[in-house]
Structure 1
Amino acid sequence: MTAADFQIDDREGGSVLRLTGDWTTTGLGSGARDLQARLGEGRVTALDVSELGRFDTAGALTLVQATTEALPKDAWASRPEAGRIYAMVETLERQSAPPPRRPDALTRTFAKIGRGVFDIGHEMLLSMAFLGRLTTATGGALRRPGSIRWPAWFSQGERAGLDAMPIVAVTNFFIGAVIAFLGANLLTQFGAGVFTVQLVAVATLRELAVLITAILLAGRSASSFAAEIGSMRMNQEVDAMQVMGVNPFQALVIPRLAAMIIMLPLLTFIGMLAGFLGGMLVTWSQLSYGPSFFIQRISEDPMMGTHLMVGMVKAPVFAVVIAAIGCRQGMSVAGDVESLGRRVTAAVVQAIFAIILLDAVFALIFLELNL
């Protein structure tokens, strides 16, 4: 293989371009890349291909880009096959549409904002449609209790609830311990270390237990629901259910929803007990307040029942949100793995965002109710 090279002979009225070597993808070298710089604005009036070796589309494209006008057709008389390649590339290159002009930064920014607003509206519309179908399926299941798939309920309850007990208990235990550490460190400076017990109890009952438990299940169960149902959508199992006359919402969504509604309050209560245990151990070790004193301070406070009610009221609402978002994202999976990954991620993010937003709404409501 001989490297591509050229020679330019200047004449009156133009230049003669003499090509030597192999003008191919592998033969093009630095000499051929300098062709455009050497020609400049000059006009090629003649072409000498007597010493031209192999020739392909890469060499033709180099010639087209280096010259402002088409090379003479009669110059390829000794190499007609090379002339045909050059003519094809020259036609495609000269007549191809110019690349679209890239919008400026301001236009791209507003376009991105517009696409985001459209996506939010589209997601809200699909969520409302999913909620309508879920309500219809739930009503049908209540009218015909015999159609309820009890084995699926118990299976989902075990997987979404009982299997999550260790992680929920351990996490809330450490959260309660951290709150007790902070209370013991700050309140003892003002001689009010005894109120560390109330701080742990109120924070655990009203907010932390239900919030931490819901966030854990959002990452654990919402992603699981989206992945399971999404995989069935990819394998066309959901379509097969519809063909066989099985309602996918009654077979897939309602068991998961019911399992979450039943198990999340139970896990929340377990989280409260674990948070109390963590706070009690810290107050016992740091402030020398024994377990009997810890339990007595909690039981004698008349507001503890209200705080317990506030925390437990949130649990079923969070359960519905987690299950609905996870199943809705699973039902929206397309036929590719990339769509499955996006929907699983969206299920976790949307569930956690919805939990925090609803917790803030509950805080405002209970504040107005003086609870």
Structure 2
Amino acid sequence: MNDLSQDQNLSVELSGDSLRLGGSFTVWTLPQLAAPVPALRRIDLSGLTRLDTAGANYLAGCAAQGIAIEGLSETQAKLVDTVAAARPVPDAERNAPRGWHALLEGIGRGVVGALIFLREIAEYLGRFLAALGRAILHPTDFRLTSLVHHCQETGLRAVPIVALMSFLIGVVLAFQGAAQLSQFGAEIFVVELISISILRELGILLTAIIVAGRTASALTASIGSMKMREEIDAMRTLGMDPDMILILPRVLALIITLPILGLIANIAGLIGGAIMCWIELGISPSMFRYRLISETGVEHVIVGLSKAPVFALVIGVIGCHAGMKVGKDAESLGAQTSKAVVNAIFAVIVMDALFSIFFAEVGL
């Protein structure tokens, strides 16, 4: 091929605004015209003996700039027309919106993105429920060992941080409540403040936020790394269901362990509040326990812990969805991990607000 290319010659004659080409105009001789020809109006190709797609592409570009192409044979003209038709046409530049247009466009894109995200979350929720139904109908397909492992990772290992956080929240509530209620001589009501706040709202909410930050990122990272290494594609090739192996054990482990973590958070928060009441207000632990039992109804415990399975389901589905959305690069893994944490925490807060409205409407 190199020997053939050495026998190909291109003659170039430039006269004013006209260019005359003769001989072979191919990919081998095209570098001779690499330099632009200024003020070119016409190209005469009557002496051309050979033309390939590289030369035709050059001529098509010249024709697009308004330069007259003359002297082509019928076959060469058809080749230039074919190449010109295949050349990519750049999209027309769109003026960036400004002012109200930019604001409305941003809002519209955000709404559409949110609807797409909700649709995908609903899809993954359906996939989890379908896998759960299959596990109930075919228990041998369910991987109990994987469930126990994820219960340990998402539940047992989170106990220290959840207990410490709740203990400190109880201390802060008792201290701040004592400082405010003492102005009205109502220090004894700090017990109800602590118990209702922790049992009904703060205990399970802050636990869910910690689990969302800790577990949602872990779910995204573990599933996303498998997606990057194409292990999930390998599962499908081997006839294995990724929903049954990856999504079901992780989400189910969260549903099992989050209520337990919420109960631990409630106990730790009440202990922290009782200690601070004893130190700050002189309310003995026995008095604290008496006020807690007599003035705080069990419905507050039920309201708080009833939120836990829903929070767990939301966190697990969002984490698994983000993991499945990871691409083949590390940048995508980091971006999806951050999105999973933010979306999970936001979803937990929204769900807690909806629960508060619901329980207020039903009188609990």
- TM-score with structure 2 setting the length: 0.75
Is 2:259 aligned against 1:309? no
In structure 2, the CA distance between the partners of 1:256 and 1:84, relative to structure 1 (3 Å rule), is: closer
Letter in 2 for 1:220: R
CA distance, structure 2, for counterparts of residue 347 and residue 90 of structure 1: 58
Is 2:362 aligned against 1:369? yes
In structure 2, the CA distance between the partners of 1:148 and 1:84, relative to structure 1 (3 Å rule), is: closer
Residue equivalent to 2:347: 354
Distance apart, 1:83 and its partner CA:
8.9
Distance apart, 1:89 and its partner CA:
11
Letter in 2 for 1:306: E
1:120 pairs with one of 114, 119, 122: 114
Q: Deviations over 1:121-171 (max 9, x none)?
A: 221222222222222111101101121111101110001000001110111
Q: Which runs of 5+ in 1 are unaligned?
A: 1-70, 75-80
- Kept in 2: contact 1:73–1:83 (CA 8 A): no
Pairing 1:51-90 to 2, within 5 Å after superposition: 85-87=35-37
2:337 pairs with one of 336, 344, 353: 344
Distance apart, 1:95 and its partner CA:
4.2
- Kept in 2: contact 1:173–1:274 (CA 8 A): yes
- Kept in 1: contact 2:228–2:329 (CA 8 A): yes
Q: Deviations over 1:220-262 (max 9, x none)?
A: 0011101111111111111111111111111111111111111
Is 2:182 aligned against 1:195? no
CA distance, structure 2, for counterparts of residue 331 and residue 190 of structure 1: 55
Residue equivalent to 1:13: none
Letter in 1 for 2:275: L
Pairing 1:195-344 to 2, within 5 Å after superposition: 195-301=189-295, 303-344=296-337
CA distance, structure 1, for counterparts of residue 36 and residue 324 of structure 2: 53
Q: Deviations over 1:36-75 (max 9, x none)?
A: xxxxxxxxxxxxxxxxxxxxxxxxxxxxxxxxxxx9669x
In structure 2, the CA distance between the partners of 1:115 and 1:88, relative to structure 1 (3 Å rule), is: farther
Letter in 1 for 2:193: L
- Kept in 2: contact 1:175–1:275 (CA 8 A): yes
- TM-score with structure 1 setting the length: 0.74
SS of the residue corresponding to residue 87 of structure 1 reads coil
Is 2:147 aligned against 1:153? yes
Distance apart, 1:186 and its partner CA:
0.8
In structure 2, the CA distance between the partners of 1:288 and 1:235, relative to structure 1 (3 Å rule), is: same
- Of all paired residues, the percent bearing the same amino acid is 40
CA distance, structure 1, for counterparts of residue 97 and residue 361 of structure 2: 49
Residue equivalent to 1:50: none
Distance apart, 1:86 and its partner CA:
3.7
Q: How many residues align?
A: 295
